[in-house]
Structure 1
Amino acid sequence: MIKLIECPRDAMQGLPDFIDTSIKAAYLNQLLQVGFDTIDFGSFVSPKAIPQMRDTAEVLDQLDLFGTHSKLLAIVANLRGAEDACQFEQIDYLGFPLSVSETFQQRNTNKSIQDALQAVEEIQNLCQTNGKQLVTYLSMGFGNPYGDPYSPELVAGFVQQLVDLDIQIISFADTTGSASPELIGSLYQINAQAFPAIEFGLHLHTQAQDLAPKINAALAAGCQRFDGALKGFGGCPMAKDELVGNVATEQLIALLQVKGYDLGLKMDEFAEALKLAQVVFK
């Protein structure tokens, strides 16, 4: 079954103007009515690094989870953030950005890869103790612009280390929009065959005209977990000077529906969310 993860946190985090807490909550409450598997709603990180997300706890207090099956995911960058997130019963998943690029790991979390792997182990232990599940994002999972080493074999080595920690959800992130359909297909196929018990996801940053062949390649290789953001807003502010946007959820839904997938979404509520997105991201 296809799982759609809507990522308003990723869409908002790089915006220079602060979005009022009540507006964020209203938007998230509308998204919760649509029927997405998971909402990546906020992050517990340094407000100096990502000032847009400094009100995540306050937003969470305003969310109405009654009548929705959508789960909540919060991004953390260190053990302290994970401890803060674990205080909230409403949060199901913690997400950690682990990079296969040493340069980007430093830029994104101010850690070396080795230190980041240690943080992953500590956060995984915390999740298991507190009834949460850790989603690990392998950023720069399809290459990087910094000249750091990259190969599918390198990525597989990271996957093995995460499997050894009993992490069960790993999402490959194309942070700078450089992945080709061929690389997406081969990376998923290789890892899905090697680790059949792992749920592998895809977090793309891409230009709209390149989306269909990339999604088709992932589907053909067996991927069933996809991240998106309405209207394709967002991108990683830590990646490089120019942002490459997220997958536009409405385009992703259209692609999947044409292929006959029943996504279990309330499309009338989705239409309302699209209207609200135009206000939130004006």
Structure 2
Amino acid sequence: MKLIECPRDAMQGLHDFIPTHLKAAYINLLLQVGFDTIDFGSFVSPKAIPQLRDTAEVLAQLNLQNTSTKLLAIVANLRGVEEAVKHKEINYLGFPFSISETFQQRNTNSRIAQSLTTVEEMLNLCDQHQKTAVVYLSMGFGNPYGDEWNVEIVEKWADELVSRGVKIVSLADTTGVSTPEKIKTILPVLIEKFKQTEIGIHLHSTPFTRLEKIEAAYLAGCKRFDSALKGFGGCPMAADDLTGNMATEDLIDYLQAKGEDLNLNMEKWNEAMALSAKVFSGN
């Protein structure tokens, strides 16, 4: 069972700038909890995401000496990939590949076909620099733009990515439109078809539907979950202010109740919970 904690996603849409030292202190605590991966920052245009313009500076302040947790950074184009691979501390590069043409244009300023080329170039650079690519199938449960969506389209694009060598695919619900029914329908198809590929899930949700979505994914066989402490963040494009990330504490409670041994340091987790009040206080 792999838990990916996402402070990057929690912070990215906030208007008030979180000081670099505070970001680093928060992530340093999360690094001691025992998550498989921390999605800690992104190498994207500071005009697009001003909150994360200090990702390289945050990275320089992280203490990676006594943690087995790996680091993931988001990239949106080749320039970001080239910047991210320079940092030996980063294990994973994450790329949002939207199966909605409209959202791909809005999110990365490129068409789906161009983004597929970017993925190929990213895979080559990852191989050269001992990194692993994580590709998010963004808008994986539908979209608000009227672009065609169905399970076959999701499967088709997953096949395109896996055939090019992507080893980790995360099905992403960018605007919170997933339902337990959709999750139970789509996830088993991907898990069964792509047995050599790690299939994860990155859900957005209102607080009222988190647990049913977590349960649907777990019962569908998912073993890789993205979440963020207290459910902070989510996509800045989301129409509903309540649509944020899955709350990590809900995920932990659910998985522990199912008997999963998560091997987490709950003392450090509680410290991170306490510090989060300061990190997110001005927003």
Q: Give the TM interval when normalised to the shorter protein.
A: over 0.9
Equivalent residues of 2:92, 2:133 under 8 A apart: yes
Q: How much does 1:238 deviate?
A: 3.5
Partner secondary structure for residue 205 of structure 2: coil
Q: Give matches, 1:22-101, under 5 Å.
A: 22-101=21-100
CA distance in 1, matches of 2:46, 2:73: 15
Task: Determine the structure 2 residue equivalent to 1:211.
Answer: 210
CA distance in 2, matches of 1:239, 1:155: 21
Identity percentage of aligned residues: 60
Which ranges in structure 1 are unaligned for 5 or more consecutive residues? none
Q: How much does 1:240 deviate?
A: 4.4
CA distance in 1, matches of 2:135, 2:239: 21
Q: How much does 1:271 deviate?
A: 0.5
The amino acid of 1:159's aligned partner reads: A
The amino acid of 1:4's aligned partner reads: L
Q: How much does 1:215 deviate?
A: 1.3
Moved more, 42-51 or 239-248: 239-248
Q: How much does 1:209 deviate?
A: 1.8
Q: How much does 1:142 deviate?
A: 0.3
Task: Determine the structure 1 residue equivalent to 2:244.
Answer: 245
Task: Determine the structure 2 residue equivalent to 1:234.
Answer: 233
Equivalent residues of 2:6, 2:39 under 8 A apart: yes
Equivalent residues of 1:37, 1:69 under 8 A apart: yes
Task: Determine the structure 2 residue equivalent to 1:182.
Answer: 181
The amino acid of 1:12's aligned partner reads: M
Normalised to the residue count of structure 1, the TM-score between the two structures is: 0.98
The amino acid of 2:24's aligned partner reads: A
CA distance in 1, matches of 2:94, 2:239: 21
Q: CA RMSD in A?
A: 1.0
Equivalent residues of 1:237, 1:243 under 8 A apart: no
Q: What per-residue deviation string (whole Å, max 9, x for no partner) do you get for residues 216-264 of structure 1? A: 1111111000011111100111444746100010111011111111101
Equivalent residues of 1:137, 1:171 under 8 A apart: yes
CA distance in 2, matches of 1:70, 1:243: 29
Q: How much does 1:52 deviate?
A: 0.5
CA distance in 1, matches of 2:111, 2:17: 30
Equivalent residues of 1:25, 1:63 under 8 A apart: yes
Equivalent residues of 1:235, 1:243 under 8 A apart: no
Moved more, 201-210 or 44-53: 201-210
CA distance in 1, matches of 2:185, 2:203: 16
Q: How much does 1:201 deviate?
A: 0.6
- The count of aligned residue pairs is 281
Displacement over 6 Å in runs of 4+: none
Task: Determine the structure 1 residue equivalent to 2:142.
Answer: 143
